[in-house]
Chain A
Amino acid sequence: MSSHELKSGPLEYRIQQGQMNILGFWIFLGAEIVLFSTLFATYAVLFGRTDEAPLPSELFEPGSVLIMTFLLLTSSFTCGIAIHEMRRGSKKGLITWMIVTLALGLGFIGLEIEEFIHYAHEGATLQSSAYWSSFFVLAGTHGLHVTLGIGWAILLLIQIAKRGLTPVTSRKFFIISLYWHFLDVVWIFLFTSIYLIGMVV
């Protein structure tokens, strides 16, 4: 393991450990893709198996899901700006845009929880049928990932505030930005295959 630091290139890639962490995280995202694919496959197999519970088309409403989509897509964009600021060497820019990102993420989670409670009131719960089990687990796994991402990002913000932009802190931020974009992409699949299809079928 060498601790030699390169003089040029993005900060997060300048020490070898940084390069390795980022590669390792890409591979981890590969595993996450398999994880979500398995959940999507489960959802597809159990589609329509609602038993006595309400049908998805009776419950899904375009309104709040569209707002959720808007929040998350925007947050991916602001996260991109945060990384751009980081590359420019602006600690303040990074922190500001990251806080915006997290606020949008929190909004998303808030709406998702509200959705879930609403469905439960209408008689669709984790227990009510195979279809709803797979719905709540798939959407819930994504929501849990977003929540963990928010907690993780807060820890990183504290570290950035204390230590400033170093190869280590910027690597950590770069990695969480990959994670955040990934969750955004997963949501697009969720949005189309659960909500859009669920509303029409």
Chain B
Amino acid sequence: MQLDEFFVTGEPLIYAGMVSIVLVTAAIIFVLTYFKRWGWLWREWLTTVDHKKIGIMYILSALAMLFRGGMDALMMRVQLAFPGMDFLGSQHYNEIFTTHGTVMIIFMAMPFLIGLMNVIVPLQIGARDVAFPALNALSFWSFLFGAMLFNISFVIGGSPDAGWTSYTPLAGAAMSPGPGQNFYLMGLQLSGIGTLATGINFMVTIIKMRAPGMKMFQMPIFTWSTLVTAFIIVFAFPILTVALALMTIDRVFGSQFFTLTGEGLPMMWANLFWMWGHPEVYIVILPAFGIFSEVIATFARKQLFGYKAMVWSMILIAGLSFLVWVHHFFTMGAGAFVNSVFSVSTMLIAVPTGVKIFNWLATLYKSKIQFTVANLWALAFIPSFVIGGVTGVMLGMAAADYQFHNSYFLVAHFHYVLIAGTVFACFAGLVYWYPKMFGHKLNEKLGKISFWFFLIGFHVCFFPQYFVGLDGMPRRVFTIIPEWMPLNVISTVGAFGMGLGFAIFVYNIYYSYRYSEREKSGDSWDGRTLEWATPTPVPFYNFATVPHVNSHDAFIEMKETGETTFDEEKVEPIHMPSNTGQPIIMMGIAFIASFGIVFEWMWMAIAGLIGVIVMMGVRSFDYDDGFHVEVDEIKRTERKARRL
């Protein structure tokens, strides 16, 4: 292979990308070396097993991915603003909508939510860490290396261009030769390992590590949403693992699962993909529902209305999510009977979703609403998501879908649910729990400015797309006809509004780091659940003494009875896991193995796989059982954190 086949050439935009990658990398290396921070980075972050730090790393990476996916989006919107634009060619456009979709769902939305879960769930249930701390670190590194592998494709080897759904035969070896599609397959596969491990980890954590007394139906609602999500992950991700593996074997080793030769069945990919893919959309929406419930209850200053109904509707949604996958290809000839069955099951999902909407409204009804930034995101979510949901039901009518399918109407629908649902929730959750993570709030004024830019930009961007879709504009086209221009111009303007909102959001992080008042108590918003019972910054062992829980909204009760999480009499030595470099090393080697498969360099793939197996052996022989934090140290840390 020649060097100019290895690197992507001939595109000014990509040369700019290469230059910026080199510059940023050089700058990071320089700063770390100049300030002698390498050792610190390794000890404090790269080898950490602390769920709070892992959560922060997830969130930072997800923000970076939101930036990358957002740049893709803006480039697409520029290309589509006017007919006959020559900003991106057709091939480049295909690559960009593919990476945009994949990055946003796999490397932004899911990791962002998993990051919030990591920080908050152990705190909410009164645990000192997750069940398997080292596995948790492994999950993070698997996600990060998977994301890196996927992202380097645009400078090395070329990006995938068959859509984030990668339908065969288009994505097969015959029609998509070269490494691009392999990057998609291996990037998702590598990060998928970590997602599955996260699912198992959180299930065990929530089932086994709750504070004494906390019954299942006393768990905070965000923890419930995490548990339900973990279930979906464990049952959906193996399907994706298999689907990706089969396509990889097809492409690299010439098997015939999805080919048009050898009696393979391209349609089987669509089925496998959506049997994972539809549950996946609930993996990213249920935690969002959990976050909104927490935020709304806190800022309505009321107990969440219909707690049990909220939980049961999540469970019901999770179950139904596995039964509706065919609605993604009603038009591909499954027949009227099959379509009808899946049409009805799709609409059933709207019922528990509706229950949840009414419960949020009932929580707000006759309450003293505080319009903080976190709550604004939650309040804006409700009407926006309803628009997305109603159009979803319209799409779910099989007969009508023949009109809507693969048009901009669909594009508008899924952005209404994904952005108003998931992205708003990520922002709401980040703003809400920010003081717990970093010891200061985000500036409210900047937060509000960023919120309004983003919210208005969002509606301006996506609402017109419903109409241009009904007007016949298909998705995944790189150029438009003059009739579609006015609505597309509006849409592009809205997209830049959102971009501005995001930029202000990021600036706010810097601004608040510099100027925000430091938190004195751990209870920044007068919260209801246990995470607010810890001091800020949270000591690495979380709870000096674990409280006994008797009710839902455990912290409200503690405040009434004057209990704290630092009962000097009851402090005992705490057992904690040691840091370890094994997870990052193992996933680094897995990255190399995957890179070998992407380029079909078998020597590299095999060497890498052997390396991974050796690392598993090393792990098996590691009997490091962690260490104990002594009573003295706990007392000293707590007194300092609580300013006693």
**Contact surface of A with B, Cβ cutoff 8 Å:** 1-3, 16, 19-21, 23-24, 27-28, 30-32, 34-35, 38-39, 42, 45-46, 49-51, 126-134, 136-137, 151-152, 155-156, 159, 163, 168, 172
Q: Are A127 and B255 in contact (CB under 8 A)?
A: yes
Annotate B596-633 by CB proximity to A: 1 below 8 A, 0 otherwise.
00000000000000000100010011010110000000
Say whether, besides A23-B207, A42-B242, A51-B263, A1 and B200 are in contact (CB < 8 Å): no
Are A2 and B242 interface neighbours, CB within 8 A?
no
State A19–B324 Cα separation when bound (angstroms): 36
CA–CA, A152 to B209, complex, Å?
A: 28
A1: chain B residues within 8 A (beta carbon): 128-129, 575-577, 626
What's the nearest-Cβ distance from chain A to residue B208, in Å?
Answer: 5
Question: Which residues from B are CB-within-8-Å of A126?
Answer: 249, 253-255
Q: Told that A46-B263, A130-B263 touch, could you supply 11 new A-B pairs with CB distance under 8 A?
A: A1-B575, A30-B234, A32-B238, A34-B234, A34-B238, A42-B257, A42-B268, A45-B268, A51-B256, A136-B255, A168-B623
B256 A127 Cβ-Cβ under 8 A: yes
Whole-angstrom distance between the Cβ of A8 and the nearest chain B Cβ: 20
**Within 8 Å of chain A (Cβ to Cβ): is B262?**
yes
Whether A35 contacts B254 by the Cβ 8 Å rule is: no
Q: How far, in Å, is A21 (CB) from chain B's closest CB?
A: 8
**Nearest CB in chain B to that of A3: its residue:** B575
> What are the residues of chain A within 8 A of B259 when measuring CB–CB?
130
**A133 lies within 8 A of B255 (CB):** yes
Chain A interface SS verdict (over half): helix
Indicate if the CB atoms of A34 and B208 lie closer than 8 Å: no
Q: Which residues of B contact A (CB under 8 A)?
A: 128-129, 131-132, 196, 199-201, 203-204, 207-209, 234-239, 241-243, 245-246, 249-250, 253-257, 259, 261-265, 268, 272, 275, 575-577, 613, 617, 620-621, 623, 625-626
Q: How far is the CB of B305 from chain A (nearest CB, A)?
A: 32
In the assembled complex, 29 residue pairs joining A and B whose CB atoms fall closer than 8 Å, in A order, are A1-B575, A2-B575, A3-B575, A16-B208, A19-B208, A24-B200, A30-B234, A31-B196, A38-B239, A38-B272, A39-B242, A42-B242, A42-B246, A42-B268, A45-B265, A45-B268, A46-B257, A49-B265, A51-B256, A128-B256, A128-B262, A133-B249, A133-B256, A133-B262, A134-B257, A137-B255, A137-B257, A151-B613, A152-B620
Residues of B close to A16: CB separation below 8 A: 208
Q: Which of A126, A132, A136 is the most central at the interface, judged by chain B CB atoms within 10 Å of its CB?
A: A126
Cα separation A152 to B523 with both chains bound (whole Å): 47
Distance of B134 from chain A, by nearest CB (Å): 12
Which of chain A's residues have a CB closer than 8 A to the CB of B241? 35
- Contact A50 B263, CB 8 Å, known A1-B575, A23-B204, A42-B242: yes
- Expressed in whole angstroms, the Cα–Cα distance for A130 and B255 within the complex equals 7
CA of A78 to CA of B575, assembled, Å: 38
Cross-chain contact A31 with B200 (CB below 8 angstroms): yes
> How far, in whole Å, are A27 and B198 apart by their CA atoms in the complex?
12
Does A129 lie within 8 Å of B234, measured CB to CB? Answer: no
Known: A31-B238, A45-B265, A133-B249. A156 touches B620 (CB 8 A): yes
Distance A24 CA – B205 CA, assembled complex (angstroms): 9
Where chain B touches its partner, the secondary structure class is: helix
Query: Nearest Cβ distance between residue B175 and chain A, in whole angstroms?
Result: 18
CB distance from B270 to the nearest CB of A (A): 12
CB within 8 Å for A51 and B621 given contacts A3-B575, A20-B208: no
Q: In the complex, what residue of chain A is closest to B135 when comparing beta carbons?
A: A24
Residues of chain B lying within 8 A (CB to CB) of residue A133: 249-250, 255-257, 262, 264
Q: CA of A137 to CA of B620 in the docked complex: distance in angstroms?
A: 28
- Scoring B236, B268, B577 by chain A CB atoms within 10 A of each residue's CB, the highest score goes to B268
Q: Considering the complex, give the chain B residue whose CB is closest to the CB of A169.
A: B623
Count A-B contacts at CB 8 Å.
126
Q: Which 9 A-B pairs have the closest CB atoms?
A: A49-B263, A133-B255, A35-B238, A34-B238, A130-B264, A38-B242, A127-B254, A130-B256, A129-B262
Known A-B contacts A19-B208, A126-B249, A159-B621; A27 and B203 likewise in contact (beta carbons under 8 Å): yes
Q: B201 touching A24 by the CB < 8 A rule?
A: yes
Contact of A27 among B200, B249, B265, B620 (CB under 8 A): B200
Q: Distance (Å) between the CB of A128 and the closest chain B CB? A: 7
Considering the complex, give the chain B residue whose CB is closest to the CB of A126. Answer: B255
Q: Which residues of B contact A130 (CB under 8 A)?
A: 256-257, 259, 262-265
Query: How far, in whole Å, are A20 and B131 apart by their CA atoms in the complex?
Result: 7
Tell me, in angstroms, the Cα distance from A23 to B207 when the chains sit together.
10
> What residues of chain A lie closer than 8 Å to B207, measured between beta carbons?
23
Which one of B131, B200, B256, B275 lies within 8 Å of A28 (CB-CB)?
A: B200
| Cα–Cα distance between A45 and B236 once the two chains are bound (Å) | 19
Assess the B263–A129 pair: CB atoms within 8 A: yes
CB distance from B579 to the nearest CB of A (A): 15
| Residues in A neighbouring B129, C-beta threshold 8 A | 1
Q: With the chains together, A23 CA to B206 CA distance in Å?
A: 12
Q: Which residue of B lies closest to A32 (CB)?
A: B238
**Complex contacts, B256 vs chain A, CB 8 Å:** 51, 127-130, 132-133
Give, as a whole number of angstroms, the nearest-CB distance from B257 to chain A: 5
- Selected contact of A31 from candidates B234, B262, B617, B626, CB within 8 Å: B234
Which residues of chain A come closer than 8 Å to B131, judged between CB atoms?
20, 24
- For residue A23, which residues in chain B have a CB less than 8 angstroms away from its CB? 204, 207-208
Least CB distance from B185 to A in Å reads: 15
Report the Cα distance A136→B200, complex, angstroms. Answer: 29
With A130-B257, A155-B621 as contacts: A35 and B242 at CB distance below 8 Å: yes
A106 to chain B, nearest CB (A): 18
Which chain B residues lie closer than 8 Å to A152 at the CB level?
620
Q: Which residues on the B side are within 8 Å of A168 (C-beta)?
A: 623
Chain B residues near A163 (CB-CB < 8 A): 623
Q: How far is the CA of A126 from the CA of B617 in the complex (A)?
A: 30
A134 vs B249: C-alpha distance when bound (angstroms): 11
The smallest C-beta distance from A151 to any residue of chain B, in angstroms, reads 8
Flag if A31 contacts B235 (CB, 8 Å): yes
Partner of A155, one of B203, B209, B620: B620
> What chain B residues lie within 8 Å of A24 (beta carbons)?
131-132, 200-201, 203-204
Residue on B with the closest CB to A159? B621
Nearest residue, chain B, Cβ from A133:
B255
Question: In the complex the two chains form, what is the Cα distance from A51 to B260 in whole Å?
Answer: 11
The residue that B249 contacts in the complex, of A3, A137, A159, with Cβ under 8 A, is A137
Report the minimal beta-carbon distance from A182 to chain B, rounded to whole angstroms.
14
With a CB–CB cut-off of 8 A, which chain A residues contact B626?
1
Residues of B within 8 A of A131 (CB): 263
Q: Which residue of B lies closest to A24 (CB)?
A: B204
**Roughly how many angstroms separate A16 CA and B128 CA in the complex, as a whole number?**
14
Task: Give which listed residue, A2, A20, A27, A31, contacts B237 with CB less than 8 A.
Answer: A31
